[in-house]
Structure 1
């Protein structure tokens, strides 16, 4: 496991919220956390093991918090050692500005086009994220006819009226329940999986934006190209 893979795995584990009252669930989560933390700090991993023995039944909430602390220390080290392109993928809850920066970092890499996929799009996609792409980049927004928010379509119309050809943008609604990902596709080649909808990214819980491996990205590009072709324009 390289530093980028470790950084992503630590971030995903930190996103989880095991129930301290569910001993089996908590132990599974602690086991994963400890195995990942050990790759960064054997001392922190040993402290997790010792705390589990002492606190599992006495104070499971404190045990969970102590494990989180070790996870975050390991996450910080992994991020520093990960490639620059991967840094910033993990976004702590409440860090709305970091969420914008992370999305902007992805969109700024586009040279031709960007596709944003989210079943629950609302006006925030248009006001906060689409403008982060460079002028002249073609932006496509794909949402779900059953779950897109009522503010989405009006925001699309106003965005087109205000920016016109300066910021080319097209939006479509896929058939109800047809979308299962939150995704960013850059230049029809590179894909990023987003763990939460854009309208609530990192608002109340941790989120991450992770580059999809090339083989999976190619499959997703093909699949969502077909969904786009079949979707209804707004």
Structure 2
């Protein structure tokens, strides 16, 4: 029985490998890998590992959530360019619901790719995935960025509120101060204005200078933390709401996009109006 299973497994791998080679050429795999930065893939994979469904050998009918998880992980592994990990995952996935299924065989390819991505992405540049409701780690991921030693720090968020002063600006270490760029939203304007005025009237502002401006209407949609005008981090939700009700991520832009984005927001800052 053991020899039969070993031969069957070998033939399964061989046929699966041939199928993948015929479906994806080497150049196509390279193109897919280039579309996603290691930082983005690392954050996505970390999120998937925090949300692993319960799989059993007798689980014949998978839930919609389990099927979505399997599809998401399959896409991440394929985008990583690690073909053998992708094949191993698919083999284990196809065994779900049968006595042949082993949970560790399903998860091991994920950890193999995770280890590779962690080596490729320096610790200081690794993004974060925050599960829904995990507001503490969402807050910690943002503080980790704003407290970096740097020359300049620009926080872009169309929905900034007074919370930005209560939770973040005291942690900043930008030598030339922190700049806040937002939209004037009636719901948050009074609180943000009062907080900014009190901050600038307090001695703390000498150690952590902050300037806030409103961008022209409808000119802001995304949320970013931009460090030294060249390192751009994307925040999937407004800083005041991060991970409150849905999953959030903090990822770094690829180098070729960072320069263009940083310059765009620098130009927008120059067109914006001070709060007071």
Alpha-carbon deviations, 1:110-164, whole Å to 9, x = none? 4211000000111111111122212755100000124672322211112212223
Which of 148, 151, 160 is the aligned partner of 1:112?
Answer: 151
Question: In the alignment, which residue of structure 1 is the partner of 2:200?
Answer: 160
Counterpart residue number, 1:8: 43
Aligned ranges for residues 1-234 of structure 1 at < 5 Å? 1=33, 4-10=39-45, 30-37=70-77, 39=82, 44-51=89-96, 74=111, 80-81=118-119, 82-87=121-126, 89-134=128-173, 136-146=175-185, 149-150=188-189, 151-162=191-202, 163-234=204-275
Q: How many residues align?
A: 214
Q: How far did 1:43 drift?
A: 5.0
SS in 2 for 1:208: strand
- 1:35-62 per-residue CA deviation (whole Å, 9 max, x = no partner) reads 32475575554444455xx7xxxxxxxx
**Alignment root-mean-square deviation, CA:** 3.6
The answer to whether the Cα contact below 8 Å between 1:192 and 1:210 also exists between their aligned partners in 2 is yes
- Sort the Cα spacing of 1:30 and 1:135 in 2 relative to 1 into closer, same or farther, 3 A: closer
Distance 1:147 1:5 in 2: 34
Gaps of 5+ in 1: 17-22, 55-65
Shift, 1:33, TM fit:
2.4
- Structure 2 runs not aligned, ≥5 long: 1-32, 52-63, 98-102
**Normalising to structure 1: TM-score of the pair?**
0.74
Q: What secondary structure is seen at the aligned counterpart in 2 of 1:85?
A: helix
Could you report, residue by residue, the CA deviation over 1:6-61 in whole angstroms, capped at 9, with x for unpaired residues?
31343577899xxxxxx8x997774342232475575554444455xx7xxxxxxx
TM-aligned CA distance change 1:100 to 1:91, over 3 Å = same
Structure 2 vs 1, CA of residues 70 and 122 (structure 1 numbering), >3 Å: closer, same or farther? farther
